[in-house]
Structure 1
Amino acid sequence: MKIVTASVVVLSGIAGTAQATCGPDPDACLLEDGAYHVVLPDTKTSATPMVMFLHGWGSSGEGTLKNTGLVNSLLARGYALVAPTGSRSVGSGNGHGWSFYPGWKGRDEIDFLQRVRDDAAERFDLDEDHAVLAGFSGGGFMVNYLACAEPAAFTAYAPVSGGFWRPHPTECAGPVQLFHTHGWRDTTVPLEGRFLGGGQFQQGDIFAGLEIWRAANRCPDEKATDFSETDAFWRRAWTGCAPESALEFALFPGGHSVPPGWADMVLDWFEDSLTN
């Protein structure tokens, strides 16, 4: 593991004394095979909970920090944001993606993200027992594949606009706490899926993915048992499933985006799940 000298900067536009530390960029934390960024709440206490957020296709960990609405919402709730960068170079610029698809060559992202979790927890006194892995689009796909392969790696999972690709996994390793959010008008990752790369790849059906999670969580019924609605989200949840599991799905009327209010909704769900 490569350790570099820490530095502290204040990120413009982010509430509080948001700190991004550990690198010559000046704010990247380096492992031997990748990098991540960290932003800490100014009210940080010992064992601060964390949200590791995985960027979409063509972005980076640094790009995640530019979503000040997301960052400020997490900081205001006392959570640290950990923002890794995917290993796949995209195009001629500095964009990156995640090697989530089974059989793709390159870095073992599942292993890398768990090492990022451990490294960030040690460096910044973050709580691995209160850790949410979230991600948008390509990052959302990565969240699903990691949760399927290593369900105990994080406390909970919160993909946005990303599920599985076809062929879908036949099964996942065990129960999880997972909250999927998706835009009704999403045409980049449509609810029903679509072909990519001239038919070489196919995004999966989001509802078929939820069926896989119901099986993993040993839910007793296919149909949702709890419904709620706000101005921004239509939500459904499956209850009576395996102990310490949770499964919820939220639709919002927009397209391919992380919608306003998402962070507070997911953290409310996460904190509630810890007490039930």
Structure 2
Amino acid sequence: MMYRLIPLFLLALFSHSAAAMGPWKGECHEEVPCQLGDRSYHIKLPDDWDGTSALPVVMHFHGWQRTGALPVRHQRISGATRRRGVLLVAPTGLRKTWDFWGAGSADVDFARAVLEDVKSRFPVSDDQVYVSGYSWGSNMAWRFVCEDGADVAALLAISGTLDQDEVCDTAPREVRQVYGLNDPVLEYPYGPRGEQDYAVALWREKFGCGAGTATGPWQQVPFLTLERTVWTSCETGRVSLDVHPGGHFIPHGWIARQLDELLDLPHSYP
């Protein structure tokens, strides 16, 4: 009887291991890009994924003169996603940059094609697709959700926006923006009368938000304090704006904190 059970046990063990590894491991992962026509993107699987459960997704647009290979190695990006059961997807821009300047960008179509390709490879949780970006990648993330963001759960934008008078056909369900008040690269977008909350004016108007509420300082690391304002009294959606006294960088633990809140996880670092 025992001998008859051993092959069944080995088969079950092999099946579990194969599911956990999956054919995608051999095709593209981390430093090996996933080809999509003449373009590509990178992915980073979460730790301890069982190979079958539906995955939340963060699609992150890299900064200027970078590629999708950077976010999947970046501690403040992939270090957050992989510990929280989230699949990180990082497209690569043509000539290492993005066309976010006006409506009708081909990069919007490319990013949508990336998401569809990811869904053909992995089981994706459709109501947990998040779009993120840093610097010019943040501008591109704004452009994407502005034109094709109806199915996006949240925009996680870091140190970059579009003009606040942009007309957006679509919007995500939620917007979360962070910016350094002393950013020397993409200067903080104060309003015409110096309003500090102008950085998210477009979304507050589109969502029909009332007055914001300052929720006070918070930290993920002791050397950086952020101040948050939230707009929750909106006809649709929700907006939050985090500002800090620093410059042009991805704040330590910021993406991690957003995912903890969005996924209803206990706060942790990293």
TM-score (norm. length: structure 1): 0.75
Aligned runs of 1:99-178 on 2, under 5 Å? Answer: 99-102=99-102, 108-165=106-163, 168-174=165-171, 176-178=173-175
RMSD between superposed Cα atoms in Å: 2.7
SS of alignment partner, residue 69 of structure 2: helix
Q: Which residue of 2 aligns with 1:196?
A: none
> Residue by residue, what CA displacement relative to the aligned partner does 1:104-125 show, whole Å, maximum 9, x if unpaired?
8xx6111111111111122022
Q: Shift of the alpha carbon at 1:271?
A: 2.5
Amino acid at match of 1:157: L
Note if 1:188 corresponds to 2:178: no
Amino acid at match of 1:227: T
Q: Shift of the alpha carbon at 1:268?
A: 2.6
Q: Shift of the alpha carbon at 1:173?
A: 3.4
The structure carrying a bigger helix percent of its residues is: 2
How far apart, CA to CA, are the structure 2 residues paired with 1:120 and 1:227?
36
How far apart, CA to CA, are the structure 1 residues paired with 2:148 and 2:205?
16
Q: Which residue of 1 aligns with 2:250?
A: 258
Amino acid at match of 1:212: L
Note if 1:242 corresponds to 2:235: yes
**For the structure 1 residues 233 and 248, does the alpha-carbon distance in structure 2 shift closer, same or farther, using more than 3 Å as the test?**
same
Q: Is the 8 A contact 1:226 1:239 kept in 2?
A: no
Name which of 50, 53, 58 aligns with 1:51. 58
Paired residues, number: 232
**For the structure 1 residues 122 and 228, does the alpha-carbon distance in structure 2 shift closer, same or farther, using more than 3 Å as the test?**
farther
Q: Shift of the alpha carbon at 1:174?
A: 4.5
Task: Mark the runs of 5 or more structure 2 residues left unpaired by the alignment.
Answer: 1-20, 220-224, 266-270
SS of alignment partner, residue 146 of structure 2: helix
SS of alignment partner, residue 250 of structure 1: strand
Q: Shift of the alpha carbon at 1:175?
A: 6.0
How far apart, CA to CA, are the structure 1 residues paired with 2:70 and 2:146?
26
How far apart, CA to CA, are the structure 2 residues paired with 1:211 and 1:172?
16
Q: Which residue of 2 aligns with 1:22?
A: 27
Amino acid at match of 1:183: G
Task: Mark the runs of 5 or more structure 1 residues left unpaired by the alignment.
Answer: 1-16, 90-95, 194-204
Q: Shift of the alpha carbon at 1:33?
A: 3.9
SS of alignment partner, residue 118 of structure 2: helix
Q: Which residue of 1 aligns with 2:37?
A: 32
> Residue by residue, what CA displacement relative to the aligned partner does 1:128-158 show, whole Å, maximum 9, x if unpaired?
3211100000010011111122231421111
Q: Shift of the alpha carbon at 1:212?
A: 1.2
**For the structure 1 residues 233 and 20, does the alpha-carbon distance in structure 2 shift closer, same or farther, using more than 3 Å as the test?**
farther
Q: Shift of the alpha carbon at 1:25?
A: 9.7
TM-score (norm. length: structure 2): 0.77
Aligned structure 1 segments of 4 or more residues deviating by more than 3 angstroms: 23-26, 170-176, 205-209
- Larger CA Rg, structure 1 vs 2: 2
Percent of aligned pairs sharing the same letter? 28
How far apart, CA to CA, are the structure 1 residues paired with 2:218 and 2:254?
12
**For the structure 1 residues 21 and 147, does the alpha-carbon distance in structure 2 shift closer, same or farther, using more than 3 Å as the test?**
farther
SS of alignment partner, residue 268 of structure 1: helix
Note if 1:62 corresponds to 2:54: no
> Residue by residue, what CA displacement relative to the aligned partner does 1:164-183 show, whole Å, maximum 9, x if unpaired?
148x3145535631100111
